[in-house]
């Protein structure tokens, strides 16, 4: 396979990890250049390099790029590369979905890049407050593209989250119980749990916003019905967990580096983990502290003040645990440790200044000022500092070469000085209003220091890029363990690790890591069981990881898939098209259609490939608490869990708007509940039909499977037909998406449900074709997984029907 083609078709976790790392550093440069532009503008009060709209676009894109396209993906580069190695897995549970996450991420970033050339990118800040984010106030097509880019990024995160959750929960080596997991893996596990729910809320917010921008619904423009505050709730419900989502992986990297370079095990390990679990849960209960100056009342403020202080305390424990780990250490000040140590110092400063914000009376005055800017840069870029330590820490493992230690230290010195020079003066000039391109004369020295610091910080990365690039060629070869006192499994294999990761089956059953001899070829039934939607393929498929050991090249071939790239490209075309489709421009319409067509083609291609493409197969060592659930089923459950939050956010938005409007004064949009009632019965019946299909598959009745699936499809079509008639009537009465807030919520929420039905129908149609060919008779699992989805969609309707037709 040619070396360039390899990167387009790879599904290997180490390759995807490298792609993530390199791409995220590219977006660091992109976001960093924007930051330098901001600092150049702020060199003098009254500067005019970037005024008004240009400045707003710059700060918005800078924030979005750094938070979404740089920070998390950098962390997920490490997660991809290191987590499977640490837990003893040969790859992630769903290798093609992993590649899909990456390509969705890359193309979403390209979308954001394109938005600059469509009349200007989004200019309302990374918090995208409503109603500034709707077309009346921000009409550019580029703003829509930005929202869609974020939507695509969210899809990437959701797919990736499901993948990591399944992998970490199901595929640990024997003896590696959850309690024994390395800290970096722990932080990633908690990060993806938070991602699963937080990004589902963001997805809802972005879907509604996209609909407001493209289809003309009036959620966020409905300021008389709380539309403005609704956005703030949705955004911060996502936004606060997001802080921990970007910080936790850095914490994990810091914990690993501290242990290695002090030669000590972390102090209070179980309390460290308990603290992180607590933070992960509580992170969903603090969001209103971003809204202390909105109209929330005193009891609510008090509650959120308490939860906010509560969430800061576990971090105290974590910080002290790291500090005490250095005691009795044998500390080696190598570059990774310098960065991890520096990150802890910065995080402590960020934490202390965060306590200021926890005092509501002070928060009132800090709101919208550089205090907030300085504080969250200390925390978030503090996290970046830890991750940069991770770059140096794992560079020898990933490349097999040592970086240059002297240049590494130069990088740290410039970085640490630059960092404090750019962000500390912001505390001193904290009265400067945020996102304003001007400031009072009195603050000039501080802002000039900050500008100088920004350039020093930026230059320090040039040193890093040079070091990493030159060391690829001139660096010494790295031993499997170049550091000493490491404990985790990635250091027990060569640098870089071979394709199959381990020389044998990793196990901790004997009290420490061992590589057991590979068990003999397993019955292929087990191999295929986790493969998912395909039929069992008897032998012949060298796609299982075991097969790989027999013939490396085969492995590579069989683990190559172009469909993740193709599908993401299709999504890219589709979203570029959608961004301007309401302008009626031919190019936009054509791109939309082309994107749809390519998407359908690639989805079918990917589904067909499932019959021969299998992820790592069990049995795995530790799978608590999901030992009895196969990977595919568990993945489906995780996906549905995020879908619950998505619908929950839609229903919550509806209830919020309706309460603000006046619950009783709100008339349901359909005057007649009968079509809705009919549809309830139709969907319930279709759920029985799916159950019948499964029963028929278990009994080995091909005709039974075909007939039951056919009934399911017909009922689904009936549901949509009935709904279509109902919508058409409403349309003729002059009620449509954009008519008012009642119709907007009705059409969009039930429309989202209808879209779920349509997706289900396409899957059912695909399965019908395969069932006709005799599939599923000896493996009914795909029918079962489809059934899970279909039942879920039915259950959602049971909530929507009373909410939108009866109450």
Q: Return the residues of window 643-672 that contact other proteins according to CB under 8 A.
A: 652, 655-656, 659-660
Instruction: Give the CA radius of gyration of the chain.
Output: 27
Residue nearer to other proteins on the CB measure, 41 or 679: 41
CA neighbor of 356 nearest in space, from 323, 379, 380: 379
Contact 68, 116 (CB under 8 A): no
As a three-state string, the secondary structure of 145-182 is HHHHHHHHHHHHHHHHHHHHHHHHHHCECCCCCHHHCC
Which stretch, 105-113, 290-298, 458-466, 727-735, contacts other proteins (CB under 8 A)?
A: 290-298
**Nearest in space to 471 (alpha carbons), one of 390, 384, 385, 391:** 391
Q: Which of residues 375 and 756 has its CB atom nearest to other proteins in the complex?
A: 375
In the complex, the smallest distance separating the C-beta of residue 502 from other proteins, rounded to whole angstroms, is 12
Long-range contacts of 704-711 (CB under 8 A, 24+ apart): 705/771, 705/776, 705/777, 705/783, 706/768, 706/771, 706/772, 709/764, 709/767, 709/768, 709/771, 710/768, 711/686
Q: Does 132 bind other proteins (CB under 8 A)?
A: yes
Burial class (CB in 10 A: 0-12, 13-18, 19+), 762: middle
Cβ-based nearer residue to other proteins, 138 or 196: 138
Chain residues 416-435 in contact with other proteins, contact rule CB under 8 A: 431, 433-435
371 half-sphere exposure, CB direction, 13 A CA radius: 18
**Candidate list 58, 145, 158, 225; residue touching other proteins; CB under 8 A:** 225
Considering the rule CB under 8 A, would residue 579 count as an interface residue with other proteins? no
Closest separation in Å from C-beta 440 to other proteins: 9
Q: How many residues belong to the chain? A: 807
Binding footprint of other proteins, residue count (CB under 8 A): 120
Residue selected from 9, 65, 147, 229 as contacting other proteins according to rule CB under 8 A: 229
Q: Which is nearer to other proteins, 3 or 297 (CB)?
A: 297
Count of C-beta atoms within a 10 Å radius of residue 286: 26
Residues 46-75 that bind other proteins (CB under 8 A): 46, 48, 51-53, 55-56, 59
Which residue in this structure is represented by tokens 């797919």? 159
**Sole binder of other proteins in the list 321, 463, 548, 737 (CB under 8 A):** 321
Contact between 605 and other proteins per CB under 8 A: no
Nearest approach in angstroms of CB 309 to other proteins is 5
CB of 389 to other proteins, least distance (A): 14
Site for other proteins, residues 395 to 414, rule: CB under 8 A: none
Binding mask 358-387 for other proteins (x = CB under 8 A): xxxxx-xx-xxx------------------
Question: Which tokens sit at 161?
Answer: 């989250």
Nearest residue (CB) to other proteins, 272 versus 563: 272
Asked if 309 is part of the footprint of other proteins (rule: CB under 8 A), the reply reads yes
Which residues are CB-contacts of 369 (< 8 A; sequence separation ≥ 6)?
A: 430, 431, 432, 433, 434
Q: Nearer to other proteins by C-beta: 271 or 731?
A: 271
Q: Which of 135, 216, 329, 718 binds other proteins (CB under 8 A)?
A: 329
User: Closest approach of Cβ 628 to other proteins, in Å?
Assistant: 25
**Residue 631 lies near other proteins (rule: CB under 8 A):** no
Nearest approach, Cβ of 138 to other proteins (angstroms)? 8
CA distance 248 to 456: 27
- 503 touching other proteins, by CB under 8 A: no
Q: For other proteins, which is the closer residue by CB, 347 or 797?
A: 347
Q: Which stretch binds other proteins (CB under 8 A): 5-13, 140-148, 309-317, 631-639?
A: 309-317
* CA pair distance 34, 73, nearest whole angstrom: 19
Residue from 139, 274, 294, 445 that binds other proteins (CB under 8 A)? 294
Least Å from the CB of residue 442 to other proteins: 12
CB-CB contact of 204 with 646 (8 Å): yes
302 binds other proteins (CB under 8 A): yes
Q: Which of 2, 3, 270, 523 binds other proteins (CB under 8 A)?
A: 270
CA gap 143, 132 in Å, rounded: 11
CA distance 283 to 190: 11
The single residue among 33, 178, 214, 269 that binds other proteins, judged by CB under 8 A, is: 269
Residue number with CB closer to other proteins (359 or 600)? 359
Asked whether the beta carbons of 216 and 737 are under 8 A apart, the reply is: yes
Residue (650 or 790) nearer to other proteins, CB: 650
Q: Which CB sits closer to other proteins, 420 or 544? A: 420
Name the 3-class secondary structure at 632.
helix
Choices 262-270, 494-502, 690-698, 738-746 (CB under 8 A): range interacting with other proteins: 262-270
- Binding to other proteins by residue 236, rule CB under 8 A? no
Instruction: Please say which residue, 2 or 295, places its beta carbon nearer to other proteins.
Output: 295
Residues 105, 386: Cα–Cα separation, whole Å? 22
The C-alpha atoms of residue 458 and residue 36 are separated, in whole angstroms, by 8
Going by C-beta distance under 8 Å and a sequence separation of 6 or more, which residues neighbour residue 26?
none
Q: Do the beta carbons of residue 161 and residue 153 sit within 8 Å?
A: no
Ranges within 740-799 binding other proteins (CB under 8 A): none
Instruction: Find residue 401's DSSP bridge partners.
Output: 477
Does 82 sit near other proteins (CB under 8 A)?
no
DSSP string covering 444-485, please? HHHHHHHHHHHHHHHHHHHHHHHHHHHHHHHSPBPPS-SSSS
Residues 6+ positions from 237 with CB-CB distance below 8 Å:
198, 201, 284, 287, 649
At residue 505, what are phi and psi to the nearest 5 degrees? -85, 115
Comparing CB distances to other proteins, the nearer of 365 and 672 is 365
- Select from 320, 424, 596, 772 the one that contacts other proteins (CB under 8 A): 320
Q: Which of residues 433-462 bind other proteins (CB under 8 A)?
A: 433-438
Q: List the beta bridge partners of residue 433.
A: 369
- Measure the CA–CA gap between 357 and 309, rounded to whole angstroms: 10
507: enclosing H helix or E strand? strand 505-507
Closest CB 333 distance from other proteins, rounded Å: 7
Distance CA 389, CA 290 (A): 30
Stretch that binds other proteins, among 122-130, 386-394, 535-543, 593-601 (CB under 8 A): 122-130
Q: Whose CA is closest to 762, among 796, 726, 716?
A: 716
Ranges within 159-218 binding other proteins (CB under 8 A): 175-176, 180-183
List the interface residues with other proteins, window 342-361 (CB under 8 A): 344-345, 348-349, 352-353, 355-356, 358-361
The answer to whether 35 contacts other proteins (rule: CB under 8 A) is: no
Q: Which residues pair with 172 in a beta bridge?
A: 622
Between 162 and 243, whose beta carbon lies closer to other proteins? 243
Rounded to a whole number of angstroms, the minimum distance from the CB of residue 512 to other proteins is: 5
Residue 333 or 469: the one with the smaller Cβ distance to other proteins is: 333
Is the Cβ–Cβ distance between 100 and 32 less than 8 Å? no
* Enclosing H/E stretch for 684: helix 674-699
Stretch that binds other proteins, among 324-332, 590-598, 624-632, 738-746 (CB under 8 A): 324-332
CB of 513 to other proteins, least distance (A): 3
Is there binding between residue 319 and other proteins (CB under 8 A)?
yes
Contact (Cβ atoms closer than 8 angstroms) between residue 194 and residue 245: yes
Residues 511-570, interacting with other proteins (CB under 8 A): 511-514
Q: Note the Cα 569 to chain centre separation in Å.
A: 19
Judged by CB under 8 A, the residue of 313, 526, 590, 806 near other proteins is 313
List the beta bridge partners of residue 346: none
| Alpha-carbon distances of 66 from 94, 383, 564, 756, rounded to whole Å | 28, 12, 25, 32
């Amino acid at each position: 396979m040619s070396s360039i083609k390899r990167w387009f078709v790879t599904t290997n976790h180490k390759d995807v990890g490298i792609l993530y790392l390199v791409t995220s550093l590219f977006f660091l440069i992109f976001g960093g250049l924007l930051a330098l532009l901001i600092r150049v503008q702020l060199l003098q009060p009254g500067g005019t390099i970037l005024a008004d709209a240009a400045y707003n676009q710059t700060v918005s894109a800078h924030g979005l790029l750094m938070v979404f396209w740089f920070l998390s993906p950098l962390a997920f580069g490490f997660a991809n590369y290191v987590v499977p190695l640490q837990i003893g897995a040969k790859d992630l549970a769903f290798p093609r979905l992993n590649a899909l996450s990456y390509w969705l991420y890359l193309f979403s970033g390209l979308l954001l890049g394109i938005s600059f050339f469509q009349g200007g990118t989004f200019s309302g800040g990374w918090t995208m407050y409503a109603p500034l984010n709707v077309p009346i106030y921000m009409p550019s097509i580029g703003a829509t593209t930005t929202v869609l880019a974020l939507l695509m990024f969210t899809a990437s995160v959701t797919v990736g989250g499901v993948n990591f959750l399944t992998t970490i929960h199901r595929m640990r080596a024997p003896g590696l119980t959850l309690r024994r997991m390395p800290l970096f893996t722990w932080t990633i596990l908690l990060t993806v749990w938070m991602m699963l729910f937080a990004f589902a809320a963001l997805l809802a917010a972005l879907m509604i916003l996209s609909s407001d921008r493209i289809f003309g619904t009036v959620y966020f423009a409905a300021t008389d019905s709380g539309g403005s505050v609704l956005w703030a709730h949705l955004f911060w419900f996502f936004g606060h967990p997001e802080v921990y989502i970007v910080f936790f992986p850095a914490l994990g990297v810091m914990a690993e580096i501290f242990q290695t370079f002090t030669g000590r095990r972390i102090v209070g390990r179980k309390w460290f983990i308990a603290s992180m679990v607590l933070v992960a849960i509580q992170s969903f209960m603090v969001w209103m502290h971003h809204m202390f100056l909105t109209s929330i009342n005193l009891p609510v403020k008090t509650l959120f003040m308490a939860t906010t202080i509560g969430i800061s305390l576990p971090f105290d424990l974590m910080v002290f645990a790291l500090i005490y780990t250095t005691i009795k250490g044998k500390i080696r000040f190598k570059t990774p440790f310098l960065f991890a140590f520096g990150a802890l110092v910065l995080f402590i400063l960020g934490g202390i200044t965060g306590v200021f914000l926890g005092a509501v009376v002070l928060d009132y005055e800090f709101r919208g000022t550089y205090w907030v800017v300085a504080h969250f840069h200390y925390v978030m870029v503090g996290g970046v500092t830890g991750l940069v330590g991770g770059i140096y820490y794992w560079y020898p493992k990933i490349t097999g070469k040592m970086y240059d230690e002297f240049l590494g230290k130069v990088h740290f010195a410039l970085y640490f000085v630059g960092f404090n020079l750019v962000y500390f003066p912001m505390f001193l000039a904290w009265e400067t209003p945020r996102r304003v391109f001007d400031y009072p004369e009195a603050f000039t020295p501080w802002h000039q220091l900050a500008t100088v610091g920004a350039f020093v910080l930026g230059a320090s990365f040039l040193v890093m890029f040079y070091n990493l690039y030159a060391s690829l060629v001139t660096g010494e070869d790295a031993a499997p363990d170049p550091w000493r006192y490491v404990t985790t499994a990635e250091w027990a294999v060569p640098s870089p690790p071979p394709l199959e990761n381990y020389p044998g089956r990793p196990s901790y059953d004997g009290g420490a890591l061992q590589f057991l001899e590979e068990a003999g070829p397993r019955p292929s039934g087990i191999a295929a069981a986790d493969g998912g939607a395909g039929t069992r393929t008897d032998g012949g498929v060298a796609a299982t990881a075991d097969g790989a050991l027999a013939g490396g090249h085969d492995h590579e071939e069989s683990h190559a898939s172009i469909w993740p790239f193709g599908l993401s490209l299709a999504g890219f075309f589709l979203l570029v098209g959608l961004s301007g489709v309401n302008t009626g421009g031919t190019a936009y319409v054509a791109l939309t259609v082309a994107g749809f067509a390519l998407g359908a083609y690639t989805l079918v291609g990917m589904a067909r490939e499932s019959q021969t493409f299998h992820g790592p197969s069990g049995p795995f060592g530790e799978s608590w608490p999901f030992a009895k659930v196969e990977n595919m089923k568990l993945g489906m459950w995780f996906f549905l869990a995020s879908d619950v939050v998505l619908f929950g956010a839609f229903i919550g938005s509806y209830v919020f708007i309706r309460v603000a409007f006046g619950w009783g004064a709100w008339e349901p949009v359909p005057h007649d509940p009968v079509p809705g009632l009919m549809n309830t019965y139709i969907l319930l019946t279709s759920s029985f039909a799916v159950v019948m299909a499964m029963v028929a598959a278990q009994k080995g009745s091909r005709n039974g499977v075909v007939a039951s699936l056919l009934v399911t499809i017909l009922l689904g079509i009936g549901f949509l037909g009935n709904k279509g008639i109902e919508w058409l009537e409403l349309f003729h009465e002059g009620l449509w998406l954009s008519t008012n807030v009642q119709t907007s919520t009705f059409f969009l929420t039930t429309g989202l449900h209808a879209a779920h039905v349509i997706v289900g129908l396409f899957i059912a149609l695909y399965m019908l074709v395969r069932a006709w060919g005799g599939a599923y008779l000896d493996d009914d699992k795909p029918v079962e997984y489809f059934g899970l989805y279909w039942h879920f969609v039915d259950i959602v309707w049971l909530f929507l029907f009373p909410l939108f037709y009866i109450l």
